[in-house]
Chain A
Amino acid sequence: MTATLPDLHMSPRLLAPAGTPADLPTHEQRHGPLSHGDPEAVLRAVAESGLTGRGGAAFPTYRKLVAVAEAGRRTGRAPVVVANGAEGEPASRKDRTLLHRSPHLVLDGVQVAAHAVGAREAYVAVEDGATWLESALAQRTDPLPVKVVRLSKSFLSGQASALARFVSGGAALPTHQRPPVRERGVHRAPTLVQNVETLAHLALIARHGADWYRTAGTPAQPGSALCTLHVPGHEPRVVEAPYGLPLARLLPLQGTAAVLVGGYHGTWIPAREAAQLTVDSSYLGAGVLAALPVGRCGLAETARVLRYLALQSAGQCGPCLNGLPRIATAFRTLATPGPQGAVRHDLARWSGLVEGRGACHHPDGTVRLVRSALTTFAAEADAHAHGLCTATDHTPLLPVPEES
């Protein structure tokens, strides 16, 4: 138990205690040396651990490692590893916190992953803290050298195909994913894109094994995840929580109207339902949890986020280019007290038209947010339709970059 996590029943695995960044000697003292054992043994441990990706989709890490290794053998091209530290989600802080506090754990994970898939090139892509990572890398003597790639700020730059294209020298925009990145990514080689937190867990599984990893979490969802908590009146906070922990242990649900679970591609959940939920990878996304207090307008918050998401669309795909701005504008109407005309009907139709019709999942994530807001804030929307507003505080809450 530490001062930062008084009640979580687990000591943090990933974040160095006391909030100070761990340099290499501290890191090695804390975790012990990293052995580069047999790749098959590493893959077995990952399979038994049940580790899933922490970049949002909770894809089983073992399956991706095996697919990349297999694509490498089949094509005769050595795979590439890209550690994804883009953290394009404006409400998330967990990846930059991890990279700042425990850079060597992530860098160990890059080596473990590269060894497991037989990679001969490796990158760490970040928007923030590139210089810090370079100095951490300079302290190490790794079997495989790692290059730091600097991304510019964007919601999309961390999408796997956008990242692979950028590392290859192109623009950080998603591409049509056939064949997928794991088969043809950076410089057309099989590419393992893995979130930096996933890699940090991998580094610990390689050291301590699957049984140790499974001592946190539940049998169905073993382990723990970094979460960024947004509670009004407090700075966003990053904590490590075991799967299965009640959300009520992370957020104060008293005085909360709704919780945004999973960030801007996530789901609004009424507080009384959130009280029944736990930390669960099927809706946790990349770990963002935000409490909307009673008296704030969830429709207005969603409208702000949707405007941002529409502006962040790469504008490459017709349905996304046409649909997202219309959805954002319609939602703005819904968030404003006054006549609504057919906006809810339009929102439902456009949501159906953009879903699954893009090169990336940006439209799908956006639609998830829209649908959950329409359900969770249906009563507020009805009040708006009658020209009424139930909110008492109109100060913007969720972080939205470059809002004008």
Chain B
Amino acid sequence: MSTDRHIDIDWTACQGHGLCAELLPEQITLDEWGYPLADGTPVPPGAVGRARRAAADCPVLALEVTAAKAR
């Protein structure tokens, strides 16, 4: 069985640019203040590549695709 991938957000870094929600609309929406809301479920295997690209594109590198569930 492969490890589940999760989206981990460094909240001290995230500036609410919202780019991640554009790149990963199924996994990330924005709250009323413009900050990302991830639903906490594992990223589906087919979306892991896009999640990695979203992480790389975050202007402040606040997003990480991790093997462990966020604390």
Q: Which residues of A approach B to under 8 Å, CB–CB?
A: 174-178, 180, 316-320, 322-323, 353, 357-359
Centre residue among A316, A318, A322 by max chain B CB count within 10 A: A318
Closest chain A residue to B13, Cβ basis: A176
Interface residues of B, count at CB 8 A: 18
Q: Which residues of B approach A to under 8 Å, CB–CB?
A: 8-16, 31-35, 37, 64, 66, 71
Quick one: which of B12, B32, B37, B64 contacts A317, CB cutoff 8 A? B12
For the complex, give the distance between the alpha carbons of A96 and B64 in Å.
Answer: 40
Quick one: which of B8, B34, B66, B71 contacts A318, CB cutoff 8 A? B34
Residues in B with CB closer than 8 Å to A174 are 12
For the complex of A and B, 4 pairs with smallest distance between CB atoms: A317-B11, A176-B10, A318-B35, A322-B33
Quick one: which of A176, A178, A353, A359 contacts B32, CB cutoff 8 A? A353
Closest chain A residue to B31, Cβ basis: A353
Nearest CB in chain A: distance from B64 CB, A: 7
Closest chain B residue to A353, Cβ basis: B31
Closest chain A residue to B9, Cβ basis: A357
Residues in A with CB closer than 8 Å to B16 are 318
Closest chain B residue to A317, Cβ basis: B11
Nearest CB in chain B: distance from A191 CB, A: 16
Residues in B with CB closer than 8 Å to A320 are 11
On whether the beta carbons of A318 and B32 are closer than 8 Å, the reply is: no
On whether the beta carbons of A180 and B12 are closer than 8 Å, the reply is: no
Knowing A178-B64, A180-B71 are in contact, say whether A319-B10 is a contact too (CB < 8 A).
no
On whether the beta carbons of A319 and B31 are closer than 8 Å, the reply is: yes
Residues in B with CB closer than 8 Å to A358 are 11
For the complex, give the distance between the alpha carbons of A318 and B30 in Å.
Answer: 12
Residues in B with CB closer than 8 Å to A178 are 8, 10, 64, 66, 71
On whether the beta carbons of B12 and A319 are closer than 8 Å, the reply is: no
Closest chain B residue to A179, Cβ basis: B68
Q: Can you name 28 A-B pairs with beta carbons within 8 Å?
A: A174-B12, A175-B12, A176-B10, A176-B11, A176-B13, A178-B8, A178-B64, A178-B66, A178-B71, A180-B71, A317-B11, A317-B14, A318-B14, A318-B15, A318-B16, A318-B35, A319-B33, A319-B35, A320-B11, A323-B33, A353-B31, A353-B32, A357-B9, A357-B11, A358-B11, A359-B10, A359-B11, A359-B12
Residues in A with CB closer than 8 Å to B33 are 318-319, 322-323, 353
On whether the beta carbons of B12 and A316 are closer than 8 Å, the reply is: yes
Nearest CB in chain A: distance from B17 CB, A: 11
Closest chain A residue to B10, Cβ basis: A176
On whether the beta carbons of A316 and B32 are closer than 8 Å, the reply is: no
On whether the beta carbons of B34 and A177 are closer than 8 Å, the reply is: no
On whether the beta carbons of A177 and B11 are closer than 8 Å, the reply is: no
Nearest CB in chain A: distance from B70 CB, A: 8
Quick one: which of B11, B66, B71 contacts A319, CB cutoff 8 A? B11
Closest chain B residue to A350, Cβ basis: B32
For the complex, give the distance between the alpha carbons of A159 and B16 in Å.
Answer: 25
Nearest CB in chain B: distance from A375 CB, A: 25
Residues in A with CB closer than 8 Å to B15 are 318
Centre residue among A317, A320, A358 by max chain B CB count within 10 A: A317
Nearest CB in chain A: distance from B15 CB, A: 8
Nearest CB in chain B: distance from A378 CB, A: 25
Nearest CB in chain A: distance from B13 CB, A: 7
Centre residue among A176, A177, A322 by max chain B CB count within 10 A: A176
